[in-house]
Amino acid sequence: MRKIIAYFFFFVTCIYLSFSQNSSSSSTKNIFILNSYHITQGWGNKFASGYYPFINNENYNLFIEQLNEKRIPFSPEIGKSFVNQYNTLYKNIHFDLIVALDNSALEFLNSHIDELNFLEGVPIMAAGINFFDSSMISNIPEAMVLREESGIQATLLEAMHLLPQIDTIYCLIDYTLTGKLLQHEVKEEIKQLKKEYKGSNKVTFLFNEDVSFDQIIEEINQLPKNSAVFVILFERDIRKIYYPPDEMIRRVTSSTRLPIFCTFDMYMQEKVIGGKMARGERLGTWLGESIVRFFEGKRPILDVSYASKQLEWTFSYPALKNHTISINTLPDNSKIYFQPVPFLQQYKRISFILLILILITLVVIVIFFIFNKRLSQKVKEQVKNIDDLLLNFDYLRKEMPIGFIELDSQFRIKYWNQSAVSIFGYSPQEALGKNLFELTVLHEDRDKVDLVVENLIKYSKKTYISQFLHHKYNSKESLKCEWFFTQKVNQKDSSAIYMCMVIDITESENLKQEQASLVNMLKSMMLNQDRFIASSMHDIKNIIAPIVAYSEMMVLYDLPQEKIKDLANRLNKSTTVLSNVFVEMMNISKVKGELIQATPSEFNIKELANDIAAMLEESYKRKEITLCNELPNQIIFADYEMIYSLLMNLSTNAVKFTPPHGEVIISGKKISDIHFEVRVQDNGVGIDLEKFNLMMTENKYFTTKGTDGEEGTGLGLLLCKELSINNFGTLRAENNEEKGASFYFTVLLPEASNLFENWKKAAKSLH
């Protein structure tokens, strides 16, 4: 029972599928399209672009053949071979419509209609037919003909109107079937023109003979000055050589400066003035619409007036300009091609990118100035804090206890208070009765002190800062004390008594010196920062200047395509250099401004160098340079990303300044218990040590091209310097004895991890 049910469902499914296929196949229309030319030729391709969108879908099966009449000279034997070929290919296919494109295809069908068995009883539609008469379909029972009208007469009239000085018009037509028909029409049109248009009587009309194309070019070159060339149709010469439309019109335009007119759009290009055109795409659209109407049961539009609507006045802007023809003198509704398009409109994408780059540049400049302003403000605040500290210390100095000392005329101590004990370290018992200078001055300084005291008494000075006095327990470092003197006379013996107030200013003076040194250092930093900013802005201005110049040229001038492309390439290079400068400057500013702080960890320096060598593999192999990593398997303690960037910069520079077939060596060694030194050595051009020292001390930078013309910003070594400082290391360079240069930087070993944090805290307190 189950088998019977299964067979039943299988039988029903087969019937359904068969019915669906038959239904689908019956609704699809088979169309046989016969091209006179090959579909890839200029006219055939334009024609196909018009009708293809209408019938290239699931409702139609297209069978396209081409006689290729322009390339293959037609003969009865070739015609017979096509008949046999088509009968064999399509004997089992039922067609719903036959389409003949152009005169040659229609003539072939009319001549062989009885021999083409698969055409029996099938409707025929012909399109693109020139000079149609009933003889063209004498053997075809019924045909729908879409005529192709010509704008020859209108073009001739317009040529004489636009260029009144013309006295000769050379008509270029080949001797193919369509060409002979066009020759006949042109000559008839000329006869009619001479009757109706008086101006045409002064014009001589010439036609090319059936000769080689080279001879035709010679004839064109020999035409009088006030001549014009009218390219009507030329695709094959007497030697049966086929000339594609683009190649033919290119040879004609390159051989003469005479004005050139045409009446088929396949010949339209910049150096051709133009004319009233038969446009292949429009005719193709008419055909596509007609096929759809036919299968909808509607009659196609076959009126001659409708065919005339397919013509269009078309002109070339460069050719009009070359022959001083005003656009205002052209017929109404004329289409102008090849007009120059403003740069911003033509290159919207490039213009948008250029605008974005300029905006980014402005934003980066603003951010850069704001950042440096904040940094300068920070330095100013630090200077102010130091000034406040000095004021506070001044206040404390005034308020602190003061030593009081009374001396007799021999400078023996008569009074010695507790503050004096604190200053000099001697108790009253040790000091009283002793000569002050014998007690506190070293023997070798006594003569200097006596001279000072003599001058003080002589000139009655009230204050003095001493430098040669010593504390009881420190004879190596002298005390700096500020003295206030008052002299009085002893009433008993009229001897002099000196009342002294003394303040120990040793610490304050030392602090002043340290603070003065710090202020000078900060001022130097600000000066270097200002130099760096000024130098950077100068370089940015030099980079932006050509960008502005190039963009102005592209916006203001009507430039050739090649020049625009060249300027665009230069813009790209300039903006790339500008971008690299900004990236390097921002990196340096971030490190100097502590936006990026070192986060140390332990890692293997040799493995890091291996990663860098892998990243640079393409660069050094392109120059056939050997890069050797001779670093030992050493664990260091530093910020991985900063050391990676530092070593990458130095290695990149080494490759950049090493000539092809050179060598770059990365090595290193322990130089102390807590330091490891890395060396990047090359055998390239070496380094100007004077410039390098200016980089290290004054933040100056210099741009130098590599041995292979590589561009750079010149900021790399400045960044290396800052990265090294942030990891409490040093950076130095030297030229090798033979050739090339070596760069050295130091990093900490794991044993110095505690020192790293202490130094970091000390650095913060400095700031």
- Structure-model confidence comparison of residues 263 and 448, the more confident one: 263
Q: What is the pLDDT of residues 470-508, one digit of tens each?
A: 787 777 777 788 888 777 776 666 677 888 888 877 777
Q: What is the DSSP string of 343-410?
A: HHHHTHHHHHHHHHHHHHHHHHHHHHHHHHHHHHHHHHHHHHHHHHHHHHHHHHHHHS--EEEEE-TT
**What share of the chain in percent tops pLDDT 90?**
18
By C-alpha distance, which of 586, 571, 578 is closest to 353?
571
Match 């200047």 to its residue by tokens: 545
For position 200, what pLDDT does the model report? 72
* Best-predicted range by mean pLDDT (130-139, 223-232, 648-657, 736-745): 223-232
Tokens of 641: 């990303």
- 516 or 252, which is more confident? 252
- Which candidate, 739, 740, 659, 654, places its Cα nearest to that of 707? 659
pLDDT digits (tens, 9 = 90+) for 302-326: 776 666 677 889 999 999 999 999 9
| Token pair listed for 55 | 């019938």
DSSP conformation class of 671: -
Name the pLDDT band for 20 (thresholds 50, 70, 90): very low
CA of residue 233 relative to chain centroid, distance: 46
> What confidence tier does 11 reach under pLDDT thresholds 50, 70, 90?
very low
State the Cα–Cα distance between residues 276 and 310, nearest whole angstrom. 10
pLDDT for residue 577: 58
Q: What distance separates the 2 farthest-apart alpha carbons in the chain?
A: 165
Structure tokens at 137: 């379909």
Count CB-CB contacts under 10 A for residue 14: 10
pLDDT of residue 579: 62
Provide the pLDDT for residue 188.
Answer: 86
Q: How far is it, in rounded angstroms, from Cα 594 to Cα 639?
A: 14
- Bigger pLDDT: 519 vs 479: 479
Instruction: Yes or no: say if 314 and 335 are a contact pair by the CB < 8 Å rule.
Output: yes
d(CA 701, CA 372): 18
pLDDT given at position 574: 64
- In three-state secondary structure terms, 473 is coil
By DSSP bridging, strand 143-147 and strand 124-129 are: parallel
For the record, the structure tokens of 327 come out as: 């656009």
Ranges of H-type helices in 58-122: 76-89, 102-112
> Highest mean pLDDT range out of 446-450, 557-561, 596-600, 653-657?
653-657
| Structure-block tokens of residue 557 | 């001038």
Comparing CA positions, the residue from 255, 192, 257, 263 lying closest to residue 234 is 263
* Chain mean position to CA 493: 98
Per the model's pLDDT, the better-predicted residue between 451 and 703 turns out to be: 451
Q: Which of 122-131, 474-483, 553-562 has the highest mean pLDDT?
A: 122-131
Q: Name the band, by pLDDT with cuts 50, 70 and 90, for residue 706.
A: low
Instruction: State the pLDDT confidence band at 9, using cuts at 50, 70 and 90.
Output: very low
**How far apart (Å, rounded) are the C-alpha atoms in residues 259 and 257?**
7
* pLDDT for the residue 25: 42
- pLDDT of 260 reads 96
Rounded Cα distance between 343 and 551, Å, is 9
pLDDT for 397 equals: 40
Coil, strand or helix at 294: helix
Q: What is the pLDDT of residue 596?
A: 55
Between CA 376 and CA 370 the distance in angstroms is 10
pLDDT at 99: 92
| Integer Cα distance of 340 and 122 in angstroms | 50
- The rounded mean pLDDT for the chain is 79
pLDDT tens digits, 277-298: 877 787 888 888 889 988 888 8
pLDDT digits (tens, 9 = 90+) for 87-121: 888 988 999 999 998 888 888 888 888 888 888 88
**What phi and psi, each to the nearest 5 degrees, are found at residue 180?**
-65, -40
Which DSSP symbol is given to 412?
B
pLDDT value at 139 more than 90: no
Place of tokens 């046999």: 84
Among 591, 590, 623, 603, residue whose Cα is nearest residue 709: 623
Report yes or no: 259 and 316 within 8 Å, Cβ to Cβ: no
Task: Read off the pLDDT of each residue in 244-263 and give the average, rounded to a whole number.
Answer: 92
Residue whose entry in the numeric block shows the structure tokens 């000034």: 387
Exposed e or buried b per residue across 410-422, where buried means at least 16 C-beta atoms within 10 angstroms of its C-beta: ebbbeebbebbbe
CA 126, 128, 134, 137: dihedral to nearest 10 degrees?
A: -30
Q: Does 21 have pLDDT greater than 50?
A: no
Mean pLDDT of 44-73: 81
CB 216 within 8 Å of CB 172: yes
Instruction: State yes or no: pLDDT of 266 exceeds 50.
Output: yes
Strands 311-316 and 124-129, sheet pairing:
unpaired
Query: Locate tokens 């986060």: which residue?
Result: 599
- CA separation (Å) from 351 to 354, 498, 547, 566? 5, 88, 12, 15
Given a contact cutoff of 8 angstroms between Cβ atoms, the answer to whether 232 and 186 are in contact is yes
Q: Do 276 and 263 touch, CB atoms closer than 8 A?
A: yes
Which pLDDT score, from 0 to 100, does residue 23 have?
Answer: 40
pTM over 0.75: no
Instruction: Tokens for 622, please give them.
Output: 């392109």
Percent with pLDDT over 70 in the chain: 79
User: Given this model, what pLDDT does residue 764 score?
Assistant: 53
Q: Tell me the C-alpha distance between 735 and 140, whole Å.
A: 96
- The yes-or-no verdict on residue 513 having pLDDT over 90 is no
* Separation of alpha carbons 53 and 242, rounded Å: 29
